[in-house]
């Protein structure tokens, strides 16, 4: 598990949202409170977020963007190709990060072990507070009338109230 942040992305009622907290930690110290860990890609059609080392994540963002361009925005294909490259490339194999990527049709969780997972319910979460945000989002999707952006925000606030590596300085992007 990456002890660093919380990122959650979801598709709900035809809308797409992704969000992350702003905390940057090193060991048990908070270094920064307002980091931006999510990004819009492919002309605003794809949203992505990372948990882990910032330098590693930026490298992955660049590689993923190039895969999206190469495969003309096909999110699933770009994710599989990134995961394959990440797992087999001598340099990339050492990167310590996880990614989530979402578009109007897919929500994917990508790891350096070659994993590309698409949950049945369209909710993906990573980082130390990921499971807390995931549980909150699933409950809110089922038992509230909140929209995708509101569910992401509320789920991150739940995670921030539990996880010491997650703060309440939240950034949410939507499609």
pTM score = 0.92
pLDDT at 112: 80
pLDDT at 82: 93
Residues 169, 36 contacting (CB under 8 angstroms): no
Q: Is 6 a catalytic residue?
A: no
For each of the domains in the chain, give its residue range(s) and CATH number, in order of start. Answer: 6-174 (3.60.20.10)
Distant-in-sequence, close-in-space partners of 13: CB < 8 Å, separation ≥ 6:
147, 148
pLDDT at 3: 60
Q: In this structure, what DSSP letter does residue 93 have? A: G
- Mean pLDDT, contiguous 10-residue spans, the chain (175 residues): 81 96 87 93 95 83 95 96 87 81 96 90 95 98 96 98 95 96
Which tokens belong to 23? 């905390």
Q: Which of 5, 6, 59, 174 is catalytic?
A: 5
């Amino acid at each position: 598990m990456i002890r660093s942040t919380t990122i959650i992305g979801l598709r709900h009622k035809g809308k797409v949202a992704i969000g992350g907290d702003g905390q940057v930690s090193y060991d048990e110290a908070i270094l920064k409170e307002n980091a931006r860990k999510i990004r819009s890609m492919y002309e605003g059609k794809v949203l992505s977020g990372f948990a882990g080392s910032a330098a590693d994540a930026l490298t992955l963002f660049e590689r993923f963007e190039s895969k999206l361009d190469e495969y003309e925005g096909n999110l699933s294909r770009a994710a599989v190709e990134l995961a394959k490259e990440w797992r087999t490339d001598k340099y990339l194999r050492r990167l310590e990060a996880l990614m989530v990527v979402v578009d109007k049709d897919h929500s994917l969780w990508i790891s350096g072990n070659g994993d590309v997972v698409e949950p049945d319910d369209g909710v993906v979460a990573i980082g130390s507070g990921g499971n807390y945000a995931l549980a909150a989002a699933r409950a809110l999707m089922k038992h509230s009338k909140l929209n995708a952006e509101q569910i992401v925000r509320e789920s991150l606030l739940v995670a921030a109230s539990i996880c010491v590596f997650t703060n309440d300085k939240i950034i949410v992007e939507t499609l």
